[in-house]
Amino acid sequence: DILVGRGSKHNDALTFRVARGSDIWFHARDSPGAHVILRCPRKATPGQEAVLDAATLAGWHSKSKGEIVIDVTWTERKHVRKPRGAPAGRVTVADGRNIAVRMDQARIDRLYATAPDE
């Protein structure tokens, strides 16, 4: 499952109340946007395609959406912290890694075609 935050308060709730420590957290690097969570069982390694799908959604739901290639930071949720007094949606990341994703419209269309209805 891939979960996408919708706004700063929803990003906080998704990251700090819904996501588990072993889930993978994604966010477009240096750009406002959605927090994206890839559900991942403890001690399991997500597949490369699942990571690419989640990173693509993080890029798609960011202010960098119009770029051809977007850098996305990702890490396990347990490495994401909220600084004291920080506004909704603001976090710090330890042990973050970056992935450059190409905004592939066919991939985005496939992800939304298979998404469950809200």
Higher pLDDT, 42 or 26: 26
How far apart, in whole angstroms, are the C-alpha atoms of residue 37 and residue 114? 17
Share of the chain above pLDDT 90, in %: 81
What's the pLDDT score for residue 114? Answer: 79
Summarize pLDDT for 64-78 with one digit per residue, the tens: 988 999 999 999 999
C-alpha to C-alpha distances, 53 to 21, 48, 59, nearest whole angstrom: 20, 9, 10
* Mean pLDDT rounded to a whole number for the chain: 93
Cross-strand pairs, 17: none
